[in-house]
Amino acid sequence: MDLRLSFCGVEFPDPFTLAASPSTGTGEMVERAFDAGWSSAVLKTMAVEREEVNLVYPMIVGLDHEGERLLGMENIDLISDRPLKEWEQDIERLKKRYPKNVVIASIMASSKEDWQEAARRVEGAGADMIECSFSCPHGMPERGMGSVIGQNAELTERTASWVKQAVKIPVVIKLTPNVTDIVDIARAVKRSGADGVCAINTVKALVGIDIETMKVIPSVAGLSTYGGYSGPPIKPIALKCVAEIAKNVEIDISGVGGVTTWQDAVEFMLAGARNVQLCTAVMKWGYSIIEDLIDGLSYYLESKGMTSPEGLVGKSLPNITRHEELSRDYRVVAHIDEEICLRDGRCYVACRDGGHQAIKVSEDRLPHIDEDRCVGCGLCVSVCPVRGCLTLRER
- Are the C-beta atoms of 238 and 288 separated by less than 8 Å? no
d(CA 125, CA 102): 13
d(CA 172, CA 119): 12
Q: Are strands 102-107 and 129-133 parallel, antiparallel or unpaired?
A: parallel
* Cis? peptide before 58, omega within 30° of 0: yes
State the amino acid at position 192 in one-letter form. Answer: S
From 136, 241, 347, 380, the catalytic residue: 136
- Are the C-beta atoms of 367 and 341 separated by less than 8 Å? yes
* Residue 341 a catalytic site member: no
Q: Which helix (H) or strand (E) holds 240?
A: helix 235-248
d(CA 54, CA 59): 12
Q: What 3-state DSSP class applies to 322? A: coil
CA dihedral 149, 5, 97, 260 (to 10 degrees): 70
Closest CA to 235 of 203, 194, 205, 207: 203
d(CA 233, CA 124): 38
Active site residues: 136
